[in-house]
């Protein structure tokens, strides 16, 4: 069996840590953007009618912290695999899903565009599924790390859809 990561070489270790930091920074940037816009839209959000399955507000921060960590580590694992078209495509799809992720909060909380946010989260789900399927061909462990995120995006999509329905 081929060794997944050969980090015995100090220059490879340094490059790998740099890559992990880059994926972490990109993900953290998305998180900070989302949190800043979410905080400014709290009054509007509190006034919306929400479905019964709406979790308490304290759930979101720890869930997203775990998901963002898994997302970053997944991309890092894919990046650490040998180069090639599948790895490149997987990393491009990772970037696309991160973009859709970063766009949702400004649409929903910032602009109060519930339907546009619903379209965005649908695109996020598609790009996330595409990343996961492609990552599976490069590093199955990286794909499994995305399973909780896929589940959460499915749940968040249902939540967004219900908010649209309850608040025409």
3 state SS for 49-100: CCCCCCCCHHHHHHHHHHHHHHHHHHHHHHHCCCCCHHHHHHHHHHHHHHHH
**Regarding the domain delimited by 10-166, which CATH topology (the fold level of the hierarchy) does it fall under?**
Ferritin (1.20.1260)
**pLDDT at 15 > cutoff 60:** yes
- What pLDDT, on a 0 to 100 scale, did the predictor assign at position 36? 76
Model pTM?
0.86
The pLDDT tens digits of the residues spanning 114-165 come to 999 999 999 999 999 999 999 999 999 999 999 999 999 999 999 999 999 9
Query: What is the predicted pLDDT for the residue at 21?
Result: 78
The pLDDT tens digits of the residues spanning 16-50 come to: 788 877 888 889 888 888 777 776 767 888 899 99
Parse the chain into domains and list their residue ranges.
10-166
Q: Are 88 and 108 in contact (CB under 8 A)?
A: no
Q: Is the pLDDT of residue 10 over 70?
A: no
């Amino acid at each position: 069996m081929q060794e997944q990561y050969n980090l015995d070489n100090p220059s490879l270790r340094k490059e790998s840590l740099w890559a992990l930091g880059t994926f972490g920074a990109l993900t953290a940037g998305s998180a900070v953007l989302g949190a800043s816009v979410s905080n400014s839209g709290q009054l509007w959000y509190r006034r919306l009618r929400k479905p019964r399955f709406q979790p308490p507000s304290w759930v979101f921060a720890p869930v997203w912290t775990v998901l963002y960590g898994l997302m970053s580590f997944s991309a890092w694992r894919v990046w650490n695999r040998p180069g090639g078209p599948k790895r490149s495509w997987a990393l491009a799809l990772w970037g696309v899903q991160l973009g859709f992720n970063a766009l949702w909060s400004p649409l929903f909380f910032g602009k109060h565009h519930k339907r546009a946010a619903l379209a965005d989260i649908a695109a996020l789900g598609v790009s996330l599924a595409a990343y996961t399927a492609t990552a599976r061909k490069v590093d199955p462990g990286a794909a499994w790390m995305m399973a909780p995120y896929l589940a959460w995006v499915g749940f968040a999509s249902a939540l967004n859809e219900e908010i649209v329905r309850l608040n025409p």
